[in-house]
Structure formats: structure tokens, C-alpha cells
Amino acid sequence: MEFGYLESWWKCIISFSKKNFWSLLITFVVILMIYLYLLLVKKVNMFTVFQISIPKEIVIGKVPITVNRRNRKLAYNIWVELKTRKIALDFDEENDVIVEVYNSWYDSFKLIREYIKDIGEKPINNNLRLLSLELINETMRPHLTKNQSRFRSWFEKNYQGETSVQETQKQYPEYEILVEDLRQVNKKCQKFLTLLEEIYK
């Protein structure tokens, strides 16, 4: 094996060091002093200072979602909204009032839309943003468009206070269809909650 090539490189390094000895020494001492100051006085771990954080990615179905600070914030905000509203809770025919359920849905719809606006349109955040838009536009909106106005109008005309609200709403002509569709929305929102938990936890 020939060492001529390595030998010439080594000679260049030695020559450079001799010519620039004091510059190199001063640079080394300054770097050493800064390191010791950060390590001993500021108690900074230099390994963590230069640690590069690469956002992880999870795949839901075939949709990749980057788990970064923005997406965690969006996921947590929507999770809290769904978790504390009627939309992700199973409809209780004996106790729930459909008008109040719709009021809760409407409030959730507005807030989720604001969260999506606040997060901005960044390519790295776009998939969670699109899934959140899909939740309000393709899950919540169709049910509300189809049922809310008609039910409210019917209820205002037919509720006289002679029976409980729950008993009166059961007399709605399309009650069974409405409740079944309502429960389907509940299930989809519950699945979305699980997705959000995977992102923000």
C-alpha cells in the first residue's frame, strides 16, 4: 500500500499549523473557554444544544401526517372541542335534547373552523388541515343541512310543554332516520378523536 498521498496531506497540515500556530491556538482557547462557560456556569449540555429534532410522521389509512408543534396544537384544540361537546358523545334518547345537541354542534363547527384558519396553510401541516375540513364539511355539515332547520321548525310548532322535550321529539315524523344519522356522525367524530390523540400525545 502506498502512503505517498496521505503523507503529502499530512505535510500540508503540519505546514499550515506551523504558519498559523498562534491563530489556531487562540481559536482553540476561545472555543474551550466558551464551552467551559456554558458547561460550568450556565450548566448547558452541549450535546442537547446541537441536537436536531426531526418531526416524526404517522400514517392514518394512507394519509401521512407530520407530528410537529403546529399539528399538535391543532389536534389538541380540536380534540378538546370534540371531547367536551355533544358531537363526539353517543346520543342518549332518554335524556338528550336534539335542539341543544344541534346548538353544541354549531358551536363546535365555528370553533374548529377558526382553529383551521389559525394554523395557516403550510404544506407540512396540510393533511391534518384537510382532514379537519373534511370533518366539518363532509361529516357535520350534511347532517345539519338535511335535518337541523326542518327539525327546529317542527319542534317549535309541536312542543307545547304538555309532555317532556324528549317525548315530544320522538314524535317527529323522521325521528328514527334523524337519530340514526346523528349517531353515525357521533361514531365518525369518535374515530377522529382517536386520530387526534395519536398526534398530540
Rounded to 5 degrees, φ, ψ at 94 are -80, -20
Predicted TM-score of the model (pTM): 0.67
Give the pLDDT confidence of 51-100 residue by residue, as tens digits. 445 567 777 667 788 888 888 888 999 999 998 888 888 999 999 999 99
- Is 50 in a helix, a strand, or coil? coil
Reported as a single tens digit per residue, the pLDDT across 119-139 is: 776 656 678 888 889 999 999
Tell me the CA end-to-end span of the chain in Å, nearest whole number: 56
C-alpha to C-alpha distance for 56 and 179, rounded to whole angstroms = 39
- Number of C-beta neighbours around residue 119 at 10 A: 20
pLDDT of residue 200: 81
Report pLDDT for 102: 94
